[in-house]
Amino acid sequence: MQCFGLELFSMVHISIRDLTKRFGNQTVLDRVSLDIGEGELFFLLGPSGCGKTTLLRHLAGFYQPNEGQILFDGDDVTRLPAHKRGTGMMFQSYALWPHLNVAQNIAFGLEERNRPRPEIEHRVAEALEVVKLDGLGTRKIAQLSGGQQQRVALARALVVRPRCLLLDEPLSNLDAKLRHEMRSEIRRICKEFGLTAIYVTHDRDEALSMADRLAIMDVGRVVQSGTPEEVYRNPASRMVAEFIGESCFIPGTVQAHAADGLYEVQTSFATLRARLSSPDWQPLHGEKTLLSIRPEALTFGHLLNSPNHFPGHIVDTTYLGSTAQYKLRIQNGPEIMVSEVNPSPVRQPSDIPVRAMAMPQDIVMLRGE
C-alpha cells in the first residue's frame, strides 16, 4: 500500500529558453529565460498584465509559444499536451465542483486517470491528512470556509503526484489572517515533499516570505531574478526597487570612488556615500545616478562619524503600531520616508529640525535615468 503514498513525488528541473508569446500583435512574453531547480519554490512576481499567468499556462501546457522551449529534466515538453506533463495546478478561484463532496473533488484527477478504487481511497485519505482536513472527506464544498476550500484545491493538485506544482495567486481570495496561515502551509508541504513549485503573485510580502528564489517580470520580460534577499538588497532598477519594497530615490552625480567599493555621490543637499547595486556597472566621475534608500535603512540621530546625514523636518506621520512611518522633508532636497520600529513616543510633524542617517551599505546606486 505504501506505493500509493504521496511521498513518491519526483522533482523536476525546469528550463525555460527564450520563450516568446504573441497574442495578435501584442508580445506578452518576450524571450523569457529561467532555470528552476529541483525542489525549488520559485515565484513569478510583477505588476498586473506583465505576463505571469501566461508564463505559468505555458508550463502547464495550456498555451503554445511562438518561439522558445520548455524543458523538464532536459526533455523538450514545449509541444507536449497538458495532460501528459504531470503538472498540478492551483488557481485563485478554487475551481472546485460544488456538487461533489471534498473527497470526490480530490479524487477527480485520479478517476480521470482510471486508477483502481483502493489506490484512489488511500491517496485521497493521505492528501486530506497532508492538508490537515482529515475527517472532512464527506463534507459538501459549500460547508467549508475559504481557507478549507483552498486546502481542498491544494490536495486535489497534490494527489496526482505532480512533477511540479503551479500556483496562480492561490491566496488572493483569502483574508489576511488565513493568507498568512496558508503561506506557511504551502511552503511546508512543498518542502516536505521536495516539490518543484512555481507560484504567481503580485503580493511582494508573499514572495519575500515564501520564495527560495523569485523573478520580477515587467511587460513580458524577466527584469531580475535571485533570492528574495538578493533582489531586495540589490535591485537592478527603480522598477524592481519599488516593486519589491518601499524606497525613496534621490538623484545625484558620481564624484569619486571611495574606499571599500563605495562611491561618493553629490546630491542637492549633501555628498553621500553609497554602494553599487550591481558590479556590472562601473560609473565614471560625473555620471548620473539614482540613490535608492529603504525607509528602514534610515534612523533618527546624529553620529559624528556617519557620512550620510539627512537634515530636515517631519511633515507627516503614519502610526502603524509596531512601526511609525515619517515623511521627512530634507533641507534643499526631496522628501524621504523614515521607518521607526517600536516608536515611543511617536514623533509628530513639526518645523523643529531633525536629522536622519543611513549606512553607506544601505544606500544603493542605480544607473541614472
Ligand X SMILES: Nc1ncnc2c1ncn2[C@@H]1O[C@H](COP(=O)(O)OP(=O)(O)OP(=O)(O)O)[C@@H](O)[C@H]1O
- Interface residues with ligand X (CB under 6 A)? 23, 28, 46, 48-54, 202
Minimum CB–partner distance for residue 199 and ligand X (Å): 12
- The CB-of-53 to ligand X minimum distance in angstroms stands at 3
Minimum separation from the CB atom of position 121 to ligand X (A)? 36
The nearer residue to ligand X, 221 or 329, going by C-beta atoms, is 221
E strand residue ranges, 67-152? 67-72, 75-76, 87-90
CB of 225 to ligand X, least distance (A): 16
Q: How far is the CB of 162 from ligand X (least distance, A)?
A: 21
DSSP of 182-219: HHHHHHHHHHHTT-EEEEEES-HHHHHHH-SEEEEEET
State the nearest-atom distance from the C-beta of 207 to ligand X, in Å.
Answer: 13
Long-range contact pairs involving 35-40 (C-beta distance under 8 Å, separation at least 24): 36/196, 36/198, 36/213, 37/13, 37/196, 37/212, 38/11, 38/12, 38/13, 38/194, 38/196, 39/11, 39/191, 39/194, 39/195, 39/196, 40/196, 40/197, 40/212, 40/213
Residue nearer to ligand X on the CB measure, 92 or 308? 92
Q: Of 58 and 122, which CB lies nearer to ligand X in the complex structure?
A: 58
Q: Which CB, 218 or 340, lies closer to ligand X?
A: 218
* 150/133 Cα distance (integer angstroms): 11
Q: Find, among 160, 173, 168, 227, the residue nearest to 197 by Cα.
A: 168
